[in-house]
Structure 1
Amino acid sequence: MILTITPNPSLDRTYELPVLQRGEVLRATADRMDPGGKGVNVSRAVAAAGHRTLAVMPLGGAPGALVAELLGAEGIEVAPVRVTGDTRSNITLVEPDGTLTKINAPGPELSAGDAVSLLETVRTHSAGADWIACCGSLPRGLAPEWYAELVARAHEAGARIALDTSGPSLLAALRERPDVVKPNAEELAQAVGRPLATVGDALKATRELRDAGARTVLASLGADGQLLAGAEGTYHATARVAVVRSNVGAGDASLAGFLTAGGVGPDALASAVAHGAAAVQLPGSVMPTPADLVPSAVTVTTDIPLDRALTEPAS
């Protein structure tokens, strides 16, 4: 069982457009509504893969009730912490070439009591969890050290923690030695305080995060694959992708694939890349099922292409 924590969940609306024109009335060719937030997406991907998951999150107002309803329809158990403000609603506009325009609302401000309630809800439900995945940005009202406290409490209870966040929240949590951290290239560059132009630059940055406390680093490099750096070794993996339809939630699907495959070593990395590659070929934030995966399209190697320029350099 994988328990997820999403401190700032959302109701996500995705619209596919023939063209994006500023100042015009636009007519969508397709639309969908999904429960959103990084931890929510991890739970959705875990459930789509046929594994048990429980999603902990603060929920408020009609949007929060709809998030819980949509997750229930996907067979996902929700452990909500009721808050005063409305759960945020986010909008994604998708153009035919796959370009995404996202509008993310700030979400409600949580109280000190809400912060404690979230920690206690995780403690109450974490017995028997194989992994606890803490994902996404922190909402207003939660200090950057909140994730660090969560990691410390989880370790005291004997649980393994995967952390997917960025900025001060990530840096503060490193001192508590999370079992896995999952930055993308931009978040990795931000964490080490310098641009990343090559796969070799990214590899060096993952090692610095390990030196700072992360036990394993799973770094997403977009079209350039993923890096895994841990006690078991260092690996690079890529996958063939026919058409990118939407990358919303692809990193979350990837983390789910990594954790459901054990969260350690090259086999887990291959699962992560297969899940991420499948997700980008699906609309909106649809999570892949086992039928969507193409393991044969994934290549894993210890021969890291250090001089390979990143398709999208991170600054």
Structure 2
Amino acid sequence: MIVTFTANPSLDRTVSLAEPLRTGEVQHALGAREDAGGKGINVARVLAAAGAETLAVLPLDPGDPFGALLTNAGVAHHGVPLAGVVRANLTIADADGVTTKLNLPGTVRTDADAAAITAAVVEAAAGATWLVLAGSLAPGLPDGFYVEVIRAVRSRWGTASPAIAVDTSGPALAAVVADGRPDLIKPNDDELASLVGAALDTSLPLPEAVLAVARRLVPTRVGAALVTLGADGAVLVTADGAWHGTPPPTRVRSTVGAGDSSLAGYLLAAIAGETPADALRSGIRYGSAAAALDGTVAPTPEDLPTGDVPVVPLETPNTTTTTGGHRD
């Protein structure tokens, strides 16, 4: 079981254009679609489409039709019954795959809301292999909210706690790395550099520059880092080694949700007991598949590219290498 938690879910509306966006002008759209979104929701949709057992936890007003979208997408979910409808985010994507996003802030959450959400995540984590904490925090939640959730889960379940993956950014990610000791983080290269307060060394190839920065965090503060690099693939850094994978040729239609799909692909391989290199390869395949689809469509195994995904070691791995996490 992989449990995901989305603190600030969204109804993702995607508008497709035949031409580049021209601000201040009237343009005709090719079409539009709506998907249940938010980073944790996106991860759960990919996992469910692959047949993995997953449960999405989210704050959900009992009268909000967002729950029906999740059900229609085949995503098992637990909605914490709190007032406030899910926010709506707008993505505009042109024919070249260039995307413009407008994200609304979401419902302001109270201390009582935070307590109810935390309790729900703790209970949902019982027996799970992984817990994914993903996305921005809703207004009203403190920067350290994910840290509070991590501590509550580990306090309740002890050595039976799931491995914890975090995919967020800014102060929320900084707080997790400072005090949460997650088993896996999934930043992109810009988020990684911002996290450590140091620019990547442009004199090095990008994967090596990413590795140098990631080693400032792994394994002293986080168990592993899956760093997505867009068209340059991804770098996986664990306590025991580091690898870089290159994606197959992909016609990009929308990059929205590609990183979420990469994390889902990585976790699918991890729970199957695959090697770190193969888990990285799986993450890249899923990210590439998502980028080739419209909007935030969740890729299925049938959507995965068949081209080669070369993975090369950046360091010599130890014989005890794992894909992250503290569970066998």
Same-fold call, TM cutoff 0.5: yes
Structure 2 residue 278 is the aligned partner of structure 1 residue 286: no
d(CA) in 2 for partners of 1:82 and 1:16? 34
1:258-277 alignment, distance < 5 Å: 258-262=266-270, 265-277=276-288
Letter in 1 for 2:27: L
Whether 1:53 aligns to 2:54 is yes
1:251, 1:241 → 2: CA distance? Answer: 17
Q: What is the CA deviation profile of residues 116-154 of structure 1, one whole-angstrom value per residue up to 9, with x for unaligned ones?
A: 111111112212211100001111111111111112223
- Between the aligned partners of 1:24 and 1:57, the Cα distance in structure 2 is 37
Distance (Å, rounded) in 2 between the aligned partners of 1:104 and 1:183: 19
Cα deviation per residue 1:2-56 (whole Å; 9 max; x = unaligned)? 1100000000100001232222332210210001100000000101111121111
CA distance in 1 between counterparts of 2:246 and 2:151 reads 33
- Whether the 8 Å contact between 1:154 and 1:160 is mirrored in structure 2 is no
Letter in 1 for 2:99: L
SS across alignment from 1:244: coil
CA distance in 2 between counterparts of 1:195 and 1:249 reads 25
- 1:193 maps onto 2:194 in alignment: no
What is the CA–CA distance in structure 1 between the aligned matches of 2:240 and 2:265, rounded to whole Å? 18
Matched, 1:151 2:162: no
Cα distance in 1 between the residues matched to 2:219 and 2:196: 11
Letter in 1 for 2:181: R
Deviations 1:204-236 (A, max 9, x none): 111112255101111011111111111231111
What amino acid does structure 2 have at the position aligned with 1:289? T
Moved over 6 A (4+): none
| Root mean square deviation, CA, Å | 1.6
**1:154-180 Cα deviation digits (max 9, x unpaired):** 333221100001122112212331110
Whether contact under 8 Å (2:4, 2:134) holds in the other structure is: yes
Q: Contact conserved, 1:91 with 1:103, CA < 8 A, in 2?
A: yes
Partner of 2:321: none
Give 1:168's match in structure 2, choosing from 162, 167, 171. Answer: 171
1:69-104 superposed Cα distances (whole Å, 9 cap, x missing partner): 111012111111233333110000011111111100
In structure 2, the partner of 1:34 is 35
% identical aligned pairs: 43
The secondary structure found in structure 2 opposite 1:239 is coil
Greater strand share, structure number = 1
Instruction: Verify the 8 A CA contact 1:232 1:265 in the aligned structure 2.
Output: no
- Runs of 5+ unmatched residues, structure 1: 305-315
Give the paired residue count.
Answer: 302
1:1-20 → structure 2 map (5 Å cutoff): 1-19=1-19, 20=21
Distance (Å, rounded) in 2 between the aligned partners of 1:119 and 1:298: 39
Tell me by how many angstroms 1:61 deviates.
7.6
**1:296 Cα deviation (Å)?**
4.3
Contact 2:99 / 2:254 at 8 angstroms: preserved in 1?
yes
CA contact (8 A) 2:248 2:307 kept: no
Whether 2:310 is the aligned partner of 1:299: answer yes
1:298 match: secondary structure = coil
**1:194 deviation in Å?**
2.2
CA distance in 1, matches of 2:220, 2:213: 11
The verdict on how the C-alpha distance between 1:11 and 1:267 changes in structure 2, with shifts beyond 3 A counting, is same
In the TM superposition, 1:184-223 aligns within 5 A as 184-196=188-200, 197=202, 198-210=206-218, 212-223=220-231
2:241 match: 233
Unaligned runs of 5+ in 2: 316-328
Distance 2:130 2:219 in 1: 22
CA gap 1:88/1:265 in 2 versus in 1, 3 angstroms: same
Amino acid in the other structure paired with 1:164 = D
Report if aligned partners of 2:70, 2:77 keep a CA contact under 8 Å in 1: yes
Residue 217 of structure 2 aligns to a residue whose secondary structure is helix
Retained in 2: the 8 A contact 1:219–1:228? yes
2-structure distance, mates of 1:248, 1:293: 17
Between the aligned partners of 1:203 and 1:295, the Cα distance in structure 2 is: 27
